[in-house]
Structure 1
Amino acid sequence: MLRRYLPILTWLPHYNRRLATADVLAGVIVTIMVIPQSLAYAVLAGLPAVVGLYASLLPAIAYALLGTSRTLAVGPVAIIALMTGAALSGVAAPGSAEYLHAALILSLLSGVILLLMGLLRMGFVANFLSHPVIAGFLTASGVLIAASQVGHLAGLDLAARDLLPRLAELITALPGLHLPTLAIGLGTLAFLLLLRQQGRPALRRLGLSRPLADLLTRSGPVFAVLVTATVTWQFTLNERGVAVIGDIPQGLPALSLPGFDAGLWQALLIPALLISVVGFVESVSMGQMLAARRRERISPNQELVALGSANLAAGFSAGMPVTGGLTRTVINHDAGAQTPLAGLFTALGIGAVTLFLTPALAYLPIATLAATITVSILTLIDIPMIRQTWRYSRSDFSAMAVTILLTLVEGVEAGIISGVVLSIGLFLYRTSRPHSALVGRIPDTEHFRNVERHTTETVSHVALLRIDESLYFANARYLEDTVYDLVATRPELEHVVLICSAVNLIDASALESLDAINARLRDSRVTLHLAEVKGPVMDRLKRSDFLDDMTGRVFLSTFAAWRELSRPAE
């Protein structure tokens, strides 16, 4: 029981010097790599840059103790930062004390929601977000994030947060471009894009090993921070209008508990729920992918507990909502992390930076962070997935398109809610009209196939109807109509066999429909039979009176029904 709720107990007794060396090295590498991102994502959320560092401390330690993934790295991420900024801007003015206070409440609410979901074993909730909806939401969010950074890249003070008003404001503000800021922003952007596309093969051609080439390629934001901060300090560009991070408080965050304002907590409840679900989906997807590479497994329910605890820790330590980040997790994995203690060593490294090195970040241009954010969100924009969904399923594409459109026009909350609702609606529509097929016997075999697709043997007085969907309230009446139409068009019919090989559930509404079908067929002098009923479904049918009242039999296989019923009546 302890190992179930404290996964650290499964690997800590076997911890040794080799694992510690690998984890310490990974922690150092991740510390260096994620500092620019942590600062950038706090700025993206409209919070002081130091909040990004705070959110990388206690949350990472909490996850190390409770998480089941050995390589997942927890901290601020782009999509959650965007959702955080959208949620907070509706309740407080960016930069105000109330805004920061609301961020702490949002973290606490997210933590409580995730923790409750974990204790109630609700990891399945993530299944309600279909992949096309997630891809559409992330793509639209990537566009929103890129648009939100245009002002920082160009040195323009843009107030609008929504996409269309922001673009309109950008057009009117173009004459006020700040050329030094634009040079830093576009220069950093070009450097990071070039390094991402050409850095690895170029370094390999210089004779560097693949791991070292990968490490240096991912170090692009670190180099950009060092160079632009040094140039800004050397030439006092901050005095010439280049916006910089400014003084960052030294020291660790003070532990505190946000005050209770019922109205504010209620206003942030739905945004916290959405942040929790989206963050969990992103985190568990990443964790499962990397666990599969190492032939390990993670527990989605325990991940909910771990992420909930991480967000509670963020709320108590002046942080912001966190989850498992794609970039920092990949860096952690590639750096050789062996256990969750790598995250603890990363937290210690960032803590050291927060204690001693924040003055060195004072001259870091905001434009550099904007370029870092813009490049990092390129992985969110999934054009190939959009094209594939369009070719494969127009209904799924419609859910994706609505999600993209509403996210861009109405914001992240409207986009994700509409996508989920539309996905569930499409599912209900599809399953409310279950596919069924009359099947016949493939000559000289025991196999049965759709009579419209194959050459089959049939007999006029037996109808073998295969049902290709579970039966529940949404499609029960449709099944009745299908059977009644079949009987009405075949006056010679004596037996109807419902083949249930694809039926995993028959709920109470469907059972009532089966009773009605049985009674209607009895009145028409047609016998109803079932075939290939699965064990769990049969167990539930046995708890009802249906089997006693059914006019026919339950056959183990379709062939058995065919062999018995296709004989001429004596």
Structure 2
Amino acid sequence: MKVARYLPFLQWLPEYNRSVCVSDALAAVIVTIMLIPQSLAYALLAGLPPQVGLYASILPLILYALFGTSRTLSVGPVAVIALMTAAALDGIAVPGSPEYLVGAILLAVMSGLILVVMGLLRLGFLANFLSHPVISGFITASGIVIAASQLKHILGVDADGHNLIELGRGLFGQRHAIHWPTVLMGVGTLAFLMLCRKRLKPLLKRFGAGERLADIVSKSAPILAVMVTTLVTWGLGLAQQGVKVVGHVPAGLPDLSLPSMDPGLWRELFVGALLISIVGFVESVSVGQTLAAKRRQHIDPDQELIGLGMANLGAGTSGGMPVTGGFSRSVVNFDAGAETPAAGAFTAVGIALATVTLTPAIAFLPKATLAAAIIVAVSTLIDLKALVRTWRYSAVDFVAMLATIVLTLTYSVEAGILAGVGLSVGLFMYRTSRPHSAVVGRVPGTEHFRNVQRHQVETHPRVAMLRVDESLYFANARFLEECVMDLVSRQPALQDVVLVCAAVNLIDASALESLEAINERLRDSGVRLHLTEVKGPVMDRLGKTDLLKDLSGRVFLSAYEAWEALTHETLVKAESKSVPLAVGP
């Protein structure tokens, strides 16, 4: 069983049969048709030779089928990772040069190693530091930058840049060099693909096509665009008239090789490889979990790290670029009926056959067609409405999201995502350093306790029940001390303070010292400290300390138990002294 955890194919392979094989093979045919133009386009986006995209769609798919846990995830080049690859290599080598290719291959290998190590150490939780608003903002901004970067191919001009400002300046400077036949080709392809995305599926269903067939055909429109524009370019000799084409693509499968061992290059690319690894994993596992839930299946995030890491190692050792799970391809794979990861392996065979047999035709494929396919694909990533939704719900998350978008658009993808992560962690620390707390009282006639400022509840002048709505750790330990002592100073008659710990999942060493200090300071003031609703794991850790032994008060099972015991005690004391004491709202 332990071996099957690291080799997930051992779980589904014994049950593999002819019916499942047919379903996987049919899905693979459809995904192969879709993946060929995508692979070429994303290699172009990364500044790499087109065959690199094809190479990254062969061995990685086979390795993921062996080590991945998602049954329908389709691994390969994707737009965001291609953009991050180009950004990581910026300034290190000239796009298209042998040194640039060496860097891209090394990025794939380094990303693979990072992911495998993270998986073996079960560090999948680290991806949680990328909050959803940050990821959403990063993907939106990346989609805009990617679309802008492809306008040079639509216009037939040379304009470089890795952010919106540089790209805009470059395009404006080349406005006099616009190549109108290329514009006609690019805009025509773009319009066709947009029309197919929005109108083809309803049209097919109107003519009697089933939901599944109509969806698959509409998503396969890019392959038709590739075929038609390639034939037109070849037949009319448009390459000789200035329309830029992919050019010669070496036929045959890639050779296996080791990456560069230059220590300096490894150091320069480490941060880029780390960001590619984390962003790629977050995107991949999100898609995998979404599709798995539809079939009531389960994926293991830690094993997904290993599966994705092995895929990237396969890409790097076979001349490919960094890869991850693609949303659109995975959805098509799912809708086409793929039942096991073997569909990915079959897709790899289809890409391998295309690499061997179709490369002469690919030479006449216009770059404007690939650019149009990229723009249409990334248009689904742009979600500016998320800014409004986030602002309405949380101004703090909005700040992190906006900073990510602005820096990604105006500076670089690395700066954007690092700023987003930094702001998310910093704002989390700020929020939890001043945790919400409330003095609670008993809802009359019940065992429930609510905030005295929000509800009509019973309180006691000598008993204060303070609910802490956050785990206690070094960042908020001092705040808790101040909160308790302020409460005591405002109620001179106070004899008992009860900390209601229902929301406390952790008490670290710093918070423990603060609780000990609170206990001593309250004791010196003649006030007892009590705890209630302490969770089992927290109580287990406190049991190993002297806090419970030295506690001036008691530990109660529930807030109601504490209320009943302490109010009764004070009532008995008051009666013994013949002093009237009222309990009221």
TM-score w.r.t. the length of structure 1 is: 0.99
Is the CA contact 1:89–1:99 (under 8 Å) kept in the aligned structure 2? no
For 2:478, the equivalent position in structure 1 comes to 477
Paired residue type of 1:551: S
Is the CA contact 1:7–1:65 (under 8 Å) kept in the aligned structure 2? yes
Is the CA contact 1:185–1:371 (under 8 Å) kept in the aligned structure 2? yes
Is the CA contact 1:88–1:99 (under 8 Å) kept in the aligned structure 2? yes
Distance 1:159 1:248 in 2: 23
For 2:493, the equivalent position in structure 1 comes to 492
Shift of 1:177: 1.0
Any idea what SS the aligned residue of 2:380 has? Answer: helix
For 2:389, the equivalent position in structure 1 comes to 388
For 2:253, the equivalent position in structure 1 comes to 252
Output one character per residue of 1:155-180: Cα deviation in whole Å (capped at 9) or x when no partner. Answer: 01113333212202211211211011
Distance 1:285 1:483 in 2: 42
1:61-80 equivalences under 5 Å are: 61-80=62-81
Paired residue type of 2:423: L
- Which stretch shifts more, 277-286 or 258-267? 258-267
Distance 1:335 1:344 in 2: 15
Distance 1:162 1:554 in 2: 58
For 1:376, the equivalent position in structure 2 comes to 377
Is the CA contact 2:143–2:379 (under 8 Å) kept in the aligned structure 1? yes
1:265-304 equivalences under 5 Å are: 265-304=266-305
Shift of 1:356: 1.1
Distance 1:214 1:302 in 2: 31
Is the CA contact 2:72–2:291 (under 8 Å) kept in the aligned structure 1? yes
Distance 2:272 2:525 in 1: 57
Shift of 1:2: 1.2
Q: Percent identity?
A: 62
Distance 2:323 2:400 in 1: 27
Aligned residue pair count: 570
Any idea what SS the aligned residue of 1:473 has? Answer: coil
For 1:316, the equivalent position in structure 2 comes to 317
Shift of 1:303: 0.6
Paired residue type of 1:85: A
For 2:39, the equivalent position in structure 1 comes to 38
Any idea what SS the aligned residue of 2:466 has? Answer: strand
Output one character per residue of 1:311-367: Cα deviation in whole Å (capped at 9) or x when no partner. Answer: 111111000000111111111111110100000000000000111111111111000
Shift of 1:198: 1.2
1:148-547 equivalences under 5 Å are: 148-547=149-548
- Which stretch shifts more, 330-339 or 206-215? 206-215
Any idea what SS the aligned residue of 2:457 has? Answer: coil
- Which stretch shifts more, 247-256 or 163-172? 163-172
Paired residue type of 1:362: A
Paired residue type of 1:529: H
Paired residue type of 1:250: A
Q: Give the unaligned 5+ runs of structure 2.
A: 577-585
Is the CA contact 1:104–1:318 (under 8 Å) kept in the aligned structure 2? yes
Paired residue type of 2:288: G
Any idea what SS the aligned residue of 1:268 has? Answer: helix
Q: Kindly tell me: are residues 562 and 160 of structure 1, through their superposed partners in 2, closer, same or farther at Cα, counting changes over 3 Å?
A: closer
Distance 1:14 1:264 in 2: 46
Any idea what SS the aligned residue of 1:253 has? Answer: coil
- Which stretch shifts more, 268-277 or 172-181? 172-181
Paired residue type of 2:538: V
- Which stretch shifts more, 205-214 or 314-323? 205-214
Distance 1:467 1:169 in 2: 55
Distance 2:259 2:277 in 1: 19
Is the CA contact 1:23–1:337 (under 8 Å) kept in the aligned structure 2? yes
Any idea what SS the aligned residue of 1:249 has? Answer: coil
Distance 1:515 1:157 in 2: 68
Distance 1:36 1:396 in 2: 37
Distance 1:80 1:499 in 2: 47
Distance 2:159 2:462 in 1: 76
Distance 1:554 1:160 in 2: 63
Output one character per residue of 1:358-413: Cα deviation in whole Å (capped at 9) or x when no partner. Answer: 11111110000000000000121112322110110000000000001111111011
Output one character per residue of 1:26-68: Cα deviation in whole Å (capped at 9) or x when no partner. Answer: 1111111110000000000000011000000000000011110
Structure 1 runs of 4+ aligned residues shifted over 4 Å read none
Distance 1:22 1:169 in 2: 48
Shift of 1:552: 0.4
For 2:583, the equivalent position in structure 1 comes to none
Is the CA contact 2:40–2:370 (under 8 Å) kept in the aligned structure 1? yes
Distance 2:436 2:390 in 1: 22
Any idea what SS the aligned residue of 2:181 has? Answer: helix
Is the CA contact 2:41–2:50 (under 8 Å) kept in the aligned structure 1? yes
Distance 2:277 2:166 in 1: 28
Distance 2:564 2:386 in 1: 48
Distance 2:385 2:16 in 1: 42
Distance 1:520 1:209 in 2: 74
Paired residue type of 1:399: A
Shift of 1:503: 0.6
Is the CA contact 2:437–2:466 (under 8 Å) kept in the aligned structure 1? yes
Distance 2:540 2:245 in 1: 68
Shift of 1:226: 0.8
Distance 2:260 2:295 in 1: 44
Aligned-residue CA RMSD in angstroms?
Answer: 0.8
Distance 1:114 1:165 in 2: 32
1:129 and 2:130 matched: yes
Distance 2:391 2:163 in 1: 27
Paired residue type of 1:553: R
Paired residue type of 2:496: H
Is the CA contact 2:444–2:458 (under 8 Å) kept in the aligned structure 1? yes
TM-score w.r.t. the length of structure 2 is: 0.97
